[in-house]
Structure 1
C-alpha cells in the first residue's frame, strides 16, 4: 500500500475508481430512462468516456484527476455530445432528422419527418414514443436533478410530423446540464399500445451539453 515502486499503480487505481463512480452516478441520475435503452456493454463504454474526460483535468495532481474538473475543458463537449446508451440503436441510425435543443428550457425540436420513411423500426412495431430529459449533475458533489417531458406517442405511418418536447420543469441544482432524447417502439393491439420487450431498437442519446 505504501511501496514507492507501486505509486503509479495506486494513482491509476484511484482514478479508475473515480471515473467508475462518475459513470454510475450518471446512470443513476437518469433513472428509468437508461433502463429503457441500454446495451450490455454500457458500463464499460461509459467508463471509457469518463476516462477521456478525466484526462482533460489539467489542475488536479496525478491520482486525483477527476471528471468534474475535466468537464471544465471545452473539449469535453465533443467527447460527450452524441453518446448513445444503446450502441445497437444509435440516434443517427434510427431517426433520419435533425434534433435541436433550447438549452435554457430543455425543449427539443425535431425537424419535420415522415415516420414510415425516416425511421428504422423493429418488426411488428406500429407506434413509437418520444421523450426528452433535462439533467443537471454535479460530479464533484454527487447532486443531480432530472426533469422530463411527457411521452408523446406517434403512429408509424405516412405523414409529416414536427414534434416539440419540453420538460415539465427546469432543474435548479448546480452542475453540468445534459439534454437527452428517448425513443421507444410499441405494438398496438386492439387499440392499446404495448411496449416491445426486446428494446433493441430503443434509443437514448445525449443530445447536448450546456
Structure 2
C-alpha cells in the first residue's frame, strides 16, 4: 500500500491498481486477492462463507432496529452509528448457542441475558452518551414503560451545549421481533423545560402499551433547543441529543 501525493486524486480501480481515500488521505494498492467465485464455491473457504453470512445478518439486524425506531434515530445519531451497531449485533448473534456456525442469528441471541445486556445502555449518538449528559437518577417501570426523574434541576443535572435555553425529554417503548421484523412503537409525552434552577418532576408515559412477539426496548431521548422570540430551534443539526436504550426485556 502506498500514499499518493499527486495533484489529481483518483478513486476507483485502474488496470491493476486500486485508488481509495481513508481518513482524508489518498492511498493506492495493487489489485489482488481471491476471486468471489472461488470464495463462493471452494470447500476451502467454507469458514469464510459462514463468517460472511453471519456478518451480513448482523448488519441487517442493525438496520431492522434503526428502521423500527423511525425518525427517532435521526434526532440523535453519530456518523459511525451503523458500524457501532453492527459490532453490537455481532455480539448478540454470538449469544446464539443452538444454531450451527454460519446460521447463528440475533433473534435467538437476544433472548439470552447476555444478548440483552449487549444492547442495554446503547447510545445511538456516541458523542452524547446518556451517562455524560444526564446526572440525575431516573426510574423506569417496565410494566408501563413510564420513566420518571424527580426533583430534576436542569441547570445543575444536565450537561447542556452552549447556546441552549431548553431541554426536552421523551420516552419510547418498542416491541421488535428480529425473526419476522415485525415492530410496534409507542411514544411518551414530551416534557420541555428551561435550563434554570427550578426543581421539576418529569414523568414520561407511553401513549399505549405495545404487543407482539420478540423483545421490548425502553428508550429515552434528550434534546436541546434555543428559544428565540418564543420559537425553539434545534442546535447544530441535533448533534448534542441523546438517544439511549435504557432496558431490554
> What interval of TM-score do these two structures reach, taking the shorter chain for normalisation?
over 0.9
CA distance in 2, matches of 1:179, 1:118: 22
User: Is this contact kept in 1: 2:186–2:207, CA < 8 A?
Assistant: yes
- CA deviations 1:143-177 (Å, max 9, x no partner) are 01110012211110111112010110111122100
How far 1:107 moved relative to its partner? 0.7
| Aligned residue among 84, 96, 106 for 1:45 | 84
| Structure-to-structure mapping, 1:52-201, within 5 angstroms | 52-201=91-240
Query: Does 1:14 find its partner at 2:39?
Result: no
CA distance in 2, matches of 1:32, 1:118: 27
Aligned-pair RMSD on alpha carbons? 1.0
User: Is this contact kept in 1: 2:167–2:222, CA < 8 A?
Assistant: yes
Runs of 4+ in 1 over 2 A off after TM superposition: none
- CA deviations 1:47-81 (Å, max 9, x no partner) are 00000010010000100000011012111222111
SS of 1:149's partner is strand
User: Is this contact kept in 2: 1:135–1:145, CA < 8 A?
Assistant: yes
User: Is this contact kept in 2: 1:179–1:207, CA < 8 A?
Assistant: yes
CA distance in 2, matches of 1:133, 1:117: 25
CA distance in 1, matches of 2:157, 2:219: 20
CA distance in 2, matches of 1:64, 1:110: 42
* Structure of higher RCO (CA pairs closer than 8 Å, 6+ residues apart): 1
Where structure 2 has 5 or more consecutive residues not aligned to the other structure, the ranges are 1-39
**Equivalent residue pairs, number:** 210
How far 1:15 moved relative to its partner? 0.3
SS of 2:201's partner is coil
Q: More strand per residue: 1 or 2?
A: 2
How far 1:102 moved relative to its partner? 1.1
User: Is this contact kept in 1: 2:220–2:244, CA < 8 A?
Assistant: yes
Q: TM-score, normalised by structure 2?
A: 0.82
CA distance in 1, matches of 2:234, 2:240: 12
